[in-house]
């Protein structure tokens, strides 16, 4: 019993920090996206369709996907810690052609919060958070879908779909594929 409690204490801080880093870059990139969109276009930005993150050297490259009319676009940010928070600097943009959003129920902040539930499942079922190289999340069919690329005996993918149970707690389920509506595809 003491060994189990000791392992839980060792694992908990790692997963809490990991969720915080991925969540923080998502939240900071969503704020930067809204600011940049308003500065360029003069009106409020729509909620992002999805967000992709790639672990880099000292930063997380974060892509915010959005729908601009019927065109699917993105702003790409380099996000890194500044003291206790994250700061994102726009580095590039992308355009992916026509896109039809499958649902629009989750705000960027809710997507960011779903990361903790997805990481908890990843750590429990696959391995430590440190294996993760990229993470993409998007909303489709009233679910927040995840595609996670990780390094464990080669490059592998883990797919999940997350949603609220009874409107209170985010719950994730493993899936066999990415599912529909994945942003960033041409």
Q: Look at 8 and 40; give whichever has higher pLDDT.
A: 40
Q: What are the structure tokens assigned to 152, written together?
A: 């464990």
Nearest Cα to 137, choosing from 159, 120, 168? 159
- Per-residue pLDDT of 12-33, as tens digits, reads 333 443 446 899 999 999 999 9
Please tell me the distance from the alpha carbon of residue 137 to that of residue 149, in angstroms, as a whole number: 12
Calculate the dihedral angle through the C-alpha atoms of 90, 92, 97, 99, rounding to the nearest 10 degrees: -30
Please tell me the distance from the alpha carbon of residue 61 to that of residue 74, in angstroms, as a whole number: 12
pLDDT of amino acid 186 = 62
pLDDT of amino acid 21 = 84
SS (H, E, C) 69-117: CCEEEEEEEEEEEECCEEEEEEEEEEEEEECCCCCCCCCHHHHHHHHHH
CB 163 within 8 A of CB 178: no
pLDDT band at 3 (very low <50, low <70, confident <90, very high): very low
pLDDT of amino acid 114 = 93
pLDDT of amino acid 11 = 38
Kind plus residue range of the DSSP H or E element containing 170: strand 169-175
- Per-residue pLDDT of 53-81, as tens digits, reads 999 888 999 999 999 888 999 999 999 98
């Amino acid at each position: 019993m003491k060994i189990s409690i000791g392992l839980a204490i060792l694992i908990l801080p790692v997963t809490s920090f990991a969720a915080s880093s991925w969540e923080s870059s998502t939240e900071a990139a969503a704020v930067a996206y809204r600011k940049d969109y308003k500065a360029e276009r003069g009106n409020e930005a729509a909620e992002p369709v999805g967000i992709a993150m790639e672990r880099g050297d000292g930063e997380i490259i974060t892509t915010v996907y959005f729908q601009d009319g019927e065109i699917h676009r993105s702003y790409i940010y380099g996000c890194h810690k500044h003291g206790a928070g994250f700061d994102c600097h726009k580095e590039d943009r992308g355009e992916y052609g026509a896109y039809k959003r499958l649902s629009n129920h989750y705000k960027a902040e809710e997507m960011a919060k779903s990361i903790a539930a997805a990481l908890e499942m990843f750590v429990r079922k696959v391995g430590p958070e440190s294996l993760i190289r990229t993470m993409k999340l998007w909303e489709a069919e009233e679910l927040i879908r995840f595609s996670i690329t990780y390094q464990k005996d080669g490059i592998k993918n883990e797919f999940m779909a997350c949603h609220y149970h009874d409107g209170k707690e985010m719950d994730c389920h493993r899936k066999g594929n990415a599912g529909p509506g994945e942003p960033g595809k041409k």
